[in-house]
Structures are given as structure tokens and as C-alpha cells.
Amino acid sequence: MSEIFLTLILLLLLFFLLAGGVWVAFSLMAVGMAALALFSDAPLGEVMATTVWGASNGWALAALPLFIWMGEILFRSRLSEDMFTGLSPWLTHLPGRLLHVNILGCGIFAAVSGSSAATAATIGKMSIPELARRGYPQSMMLGTLAGSATLGLLIPPSIILIVYGVATEQSIARLFIAGVLPGCMLVTLFIGYVVVWSLFHKDAIPAGEEHFTLAEKLNRSKSLIPVLLLILGVIGSIYSGIASPTDAAAVGVVLALVLSWYTGSLSKENFLDSLMGATKTSSMIAFILAGAAFLTVAMGFTGIPKMLASWIGAMHLSPYALLGALTLFFIVMGCFLDGISVVVLTTSVIMPMIEQAGIDPLWFGIFVVIVVEMAQITPPVGFNLFVIQGLTGVDILKVALAALPFFLLLLLGLGLIVFIPQIVTLLPNMMGS
């Protein structure tokens, strides 16, 4: 039981530091230093220097700031406005009508931003005032936005999938492709729920104000073409094998700048703001990754992950029981930390258990992201809840209550990929290694 005692000491130290407001990266490094100093004979300074440097200069990491910059550029463009204009004419006859703009708009923006919070803020700024003006029920407006914005973590190019790929040495291209079908599945579940809810609450949905001919619909949909070209340019180049994720990210930045210029929203101020925003976010994530890499190596020197994996193995938990326990663990962790921190904090201890149980690390990456998505709309620290509260001024508990059905739909989606793993593995297997 000594490994459990050591783990508890390190966990208590970590939570003490995080509760005290110490930056996540510093907390990780401090716990790593304590682990090396107290429970191993490894040279602390040398291990720290080589690990932090090694974690900071990986080529795979170069995709991260580029995709973040692409999202920042589009966040400041007219993208959400164009999406509302292009999507709304097609949804007037579907039960739920314009509520589906939140779902489809978030799905499309997720494919060009990679960030859940950016997706919620960008689509929410456009859709919430429009839907409120037309008299749509507040709970469904907020719920569809909160739930669908979580797709920013899953639909590629996803920042958290890049972080997971770097932390676990998985192919980022294969992780991106693995996220496509689960992302489409969740969009379908969300749309299905809104359709069923609307059929039972017909009076709550305002009547369609406008009727469009096919020609008018096609004309208004022209505004979607640049966005779809950007998605095809980025994801298509990765899927076809023409470009690596890093190359595709560079192409995405160029296309995002062109799109922003084309819509008239590219100014010197917006350009510099997007660059500064991307620099701050990328530095924060890279710093956390460096701290996590050091903690992972430190844990390796102590032998704790191997001992824990053996301990879990000795319990003879079935893979399903292990996944159930980890789901609860990630949701609880996600209540207090952002998604990226959850992933980098836990990989060093959990990956040996996953390998011991014979679970595919690629599939597990998508599993983790869906659980982290659920944590994004779980109080008290659901990031999407904060973003939507900031946009609307609605009490955070009301936003959380509105998001509850979508939390349950994410749970259903999680169950589907557990029992039908081909939803995740089909496209990567077709792509090959």
C-alpha cells in the first residue's frame, strides 16, 4: 500500500497548491520536484532541465499556436453573422426552427476554432440576441448553445486533442480523424433532442416569420462557402495525407486571414489582437505541458504509475468498470480545472492503467475529450457556463440547468462509443497509420 500513500501525499500537495491559486504549470513542477526529491535518487536539476526543454521543442507542438491563432482571427471576423444568415433559411420548417442554428453553427465553428469557449462566445454573441428578439424560450437558447459549444473540443482541429497527442505520443492526425464521426453523432443527438422537445412544446416555438424560395435559400447560403472551404482545406489536407497537422494549421491561418479580409473585418487592430490572444493562450498551454511532462518523468522515477497499474491489474476490474470509474473521476476533476489541465494532469498516472486494461489509447483520447466536454457544462467551474453567463447575465445555475439535457446527451454519446467503438476507430483505420 506504500504506492497509495505516496500518491495521496502528492495529490494532497497538488490540490493544496491549486487551491492556493498557484498557476497550474508551477503546481505541476512543484509536485514533480517533491516526488523526485522525496521518493527517488534522480538528479533533480538535470531531469527538470532536459524534460522541460524536450517538452517545449517538439514539432507536433507547432500546430498548437497556429490553430489557436486561426480561431482568434475568425473569432474577430463576421463568421458567426454569415453562418446565421446562411443556415437560418433552411431551418424554418424543421421542428425547433432557429434553435438548430446554435447547434449547426457551433458544429461548423468548432471545425475552425478548436476551442469550446471561443465557440460559445462567437456563436452566442450572434444567436442569443436574434433568438431572444424572435421569442424563443430562454432555457432552450442557453441549453443548445452550452451543449453544442462543447463540440469545439472534439471536432477537429481540436486544441485538446493536440495536447493529448503530445502528452501520450499519439498521432495527432489520427486523433483528428477519430473525432469526426463522434462529433457528427453528437450533433445528430442534439438536433434529435430539439426536434422531439419542440414536437411536445409546439406553443413555445415562435412561428416562422419568413418563407424563402429555393433560389433565395441558395443565394443566402453563399455566405457559408468561404467557411466550408476553410474546413475542407484544413481537414481535407490532413485526411488525404497531403499535409501534416502542423502544415494544415499554417494553411488554416492563411485561409482565415483571407476570409477575414474578404468579409471586411481584417484591420490592423484585429490582426494584432488575434496575434496577442494566440500568444497568451499558446504560452499558457505550452507552459502547462512542460510542467506535465516533468511531472510524468518524475512519476516514472518514483515508480508510482507502474505500481498503480499493477494494483489496478490485481483488482481484475473489467475495462467497463475501469472506464466507469474514470468517467466519474474526470467529471469531478473537470468541476475544478479546465479541460487541458485535466488531460495533462492525469495522463502520467492513467495511461499505464489503460494499457494494462488493453484499451486503445487512440480511442481513449476521444473518450477523455467527451468526458471533459461534459465537465465544461458542470458547475462550479464549467467554462462554457461562465462564458454564457458573461454573454447573457443569466444566473450560472440557470444556465447549468438549461444545459442539463445536453449533459445527459453527452453521457449517451459516451455510452455509444463505449459499446460501438467503431464510431471512433473506423476512419483512423481507413486512413491507416
At 313 the pLDDT is 62
Mean pLDDT of 70-87: 76
- Residue whose C-alpha is closest to residue 151's, from 193, 192, 180: 180
Q: Which of 49-53, 303-307, 421-425 has the highest mean pLDDT?
A: 421-425
pLDDT > 90: percent of the chain? 14
At 310 the pLDDT is 64
Return the C-alpha cell found at 249.
494549421
Return the C-alpha cell found at 23.
498557476
Sign of CA dihedral 123, 407, 181, 169: positive
More confident residue, 18 or 80: 18
Mean pLDDT of 94-115: 80
Q: Are 372 and 339 in contact (CB under 8 A)?
A: yes
Structural domain boundaries in the chain: 2-15+25-431
Total residue count of the chain as it appears in this document? 433
Neighbours of 313 (CB within 10 A): 13
Return the C-alpha cell found at 346.
492525469
Q: How far is CA 38 from CA 30, 257, 293, in A?
A: 12, 51, 19
At 321 the pLDDT is 87
In whole numbers, what is the pLDDT of the chain averaged over residues?
81
Residue range 236-288, pLDDT digits in tens: 887 777 877 788 888 888 888 988 888 788 888 989 998 998 888 788 777 87
- DSSP secondary structure letters along 30-79: HHHHHHHHHH--S-HHHHHHHHHHHHHS-GGGGHHHHHHHHHHHHHTTTH
The pTM of this model reads 0.76
Degrees, nearest 5: CA angle 227-125-100: 65
At 191 the pLDDT is 93
**CA 54 from centroid of its chain's CA atoms:** 25
Task: Tell the residue number behind the cell numbers 473585418, with chain if given.
Answer: 265
Per-residue pLDDT band for 338 (boundaries 50, 70, 90) equals low
Per-residue pLDDT band for 47 (boundaries 50, 70, 90) equals confident
Residue range 376-401, pLDDT digits in tens: 787 665 777 877 887 788 887 888 89
Distance CA 186, CA 75 (A): 23
More confident residue, 65 or 303: 65
